[in-house]
Amino acid sequence: MDLERSPLALPFPEIPPIAGVTLRIARAQYKQWDRCDLTYVELAEGTSVAGVFTRNVCCSTEVELGREQVKAGRARALVVNAGNSNAFTGYRGREAVEQIMEQVADHLGCTPQEVFVSSTGVIGVPLPMDKARSGVSAVLEAETCSWEQAAATIGTTDTFEKGAVAQAVIGEKRITVGGIIKGSGMIAPDMATMLGYVFTDAAVEPAFLQQCLSAANGETFSCITVDSDTSTSDTVLAFATGKAGNAPLSSFGDPGAEAFAAAIHDVCSQLAHLVVRDGEGAQKFIEVRVSGAVSDESARKVGLAIANSPLVKTAIAGGDANWGRIVMAVGKAGEPADRDKLSIGFGGVWAARDGLPLADYDEAPVAEHLQGREVNMEVDLGLGDGRATVWTCDLTHGYISINADYRS
C-alpha cells in the first residue's frame, strides 16, 4: 500500500547518539515490498531492561518469551521484524524466534535470553526461517544507521517515522532518553501500544527501570486508542546501558531519580501521542479530559468509552458538535455516572452543565473548533475528584480503505 503522510504528522526529532546503543537495518523481505524490514539494536554488556506487554490472550511467541526474559533484567540485543507478526503460528513460529535468538547470541557471545525479538504485521503466517536466518546474517554485518532509519524500518502502515527524546541530570551527569515507536491501526491500550522502544545511557537497576516504565505506561500508552483493537504483539521495552557514568538508580530515594522518571514519562507520552497522530485515516487528533469521577481509574475508563465510540469519532470527523453521543458513551462505560450532574464541553466552551443544555449555548465557536486538526473535549461527571486524559483520533473512510487492503 502506498499511504499518504498523515496531516497530523510531526517532524522526526534530533535524537543524539546514546552510548551503548548501536543501530543497524537490513532487508529480510518478510513481505513483498521494496524496503528494509529488519532492525537490529546491539546493547552494551550489563544493559538493564524492562518491559510491558499486551494482555491479548492470543499473543505472539515473541510476547510470551519477552515476558519471561525481562524477569532476568538484562539485555544485549533487540531484533524487530516488520511485515509478519508471527502470531497464531504455533511451534513453527516459536522455532523461528528461537533461531533468531540463538543466531544473535552466538554472534555476541551472550545467552539467547538476552536477545529480545519483536514482530509486527500479518497474523497467522509463520515467520520463514530461511529469510530469518539470512536477514539476521545481513543485519549483523550492516552499516550503522540513524534513529530515523530505524524508526522507518519497524513500521507497517505507519505514514511517518516516530521518535522522541528527553534529557535529565543525575548528580553531575546529563543523561539522554530516546525512543522510537510504530503504530497506526489495531491500537487500543491494554498495557502498551504496538511496538515501542526506549533507550537511555543512564545507569538504572532493572527493578527501578521497570517501576518507571510501568508508571509511565499507565498514563501514556494505556491512555490512547485508535480503533479499540488490542494487538497480539503489543510491546514496549526500555533499555538502560549505564554508559552515562551516573551512580546507579535503584529507587526514588536516589538523587536524580525523579528527574529520570520524568524523562521516561516524557518520552513515552510523546511516542503515544505520535501513534494517535498516525491513526489509520486520521484527520484530527482528539484529547478527551474527564474530571469529577469517583477515581482516576474510573475517569480513564469513561474517557476510553468516549474515545472508542465510532459514533463520537465519526461526529468529530464531520465537524458535528453532537454532544448527545458523548452522553451515550459516558452511560455505557459501566462506571458511576449521574445524568443530572454531567457537563460536556468542546474547546473550552461548555455545551451542557449539570445534565442540561445551556440556555445561552452558542455552537458557532464550537463548530469552528471542530474544523481544526486538534480537538479538545471536556467531560465533568460531578461525582468526585477522579480525573484522566485520553487521546484518540477521528474515524474516516480512510480507515476502512487501509484495512480492507491490508494483506495485499
* pLDDT tens for each residue of 104-144: 999 999 999 999 999 887 778 888 889 999 999 999 999 99
What DSSP string runs through 211-240? Answer: HHHHHHHHHTGGGB-SSSPPPSS-EEEEEE
Of 47, 153, 176, 193, catalytic: 193
**207 and 251 in contact (C-beta within 8 Å)?**
no
189, 380, 383: which is closest to 290 by C-alpha?
A: 380
Q: Which residues of 251-284 are buried (b: 16+ CB within 10 A; e: fewer)?
A: eeebebbebbbebbbbbbbbbbbbbbbbbbbbbb
Q: What angle do CA 148, 80, 189 make, to 5 degrees?
A: 85
Contacts of 91 by beta carbon, 8 Å cutoff, 6+ apart:
none
15, 35, 21: which is closest to 81 by C-alpha?
A: 35
pLDDT of 31 strictly over 90: no
> 390 forms bridges with which residues in the sheet?
288
Name the grid cell of 191.
498495557
Question: What is the overall mean pLDDT for the chain?
Answer: 92
400, 354, 353, 345: which is closest to 375 by C-alpha?
A: 345
Q: 366 to each of 272, 305, 361, 363, how far by Cα in Å? A: 26, 22, 10, 5
Name the grid cell of 263.
524523562
Per residue in 294-324, pLDDT tens? 999 999 999 999 999 999 999 999 999 999 9
Integer Cα distance of 189 and 191 in angstroms: 6
**52 and 190 in contact (C-beta within 8 Å)?**
no
Per residue in 225-256, pLDDT tens? 887 766 677 899 999 999 999 999 999 999 99
pLDDT of 94 strictly over 90: no
Looking at residues 346-372, what average pLDDT do you find?
94
pLDDT the model gives residue 193: 52
Annotated catalytic residue 157: no
Per residue in 366-404, pLDDT tens? 999 999 999 999 999 999 999 999 999 999 988 788 777
How confident is residue 186, by pLDDT bands cut at 50, 70 and 90?
A: low
Amino acid at 278: D
pLDDT of 192 strictly over 60: no
Name the grid cell of 251.
529507587
**285 and 393 in contact (C-beta within 8 Å)?**
yes
How confident is residue 406, by pLDDT bands cut at 50, 70 and 90?
A: low
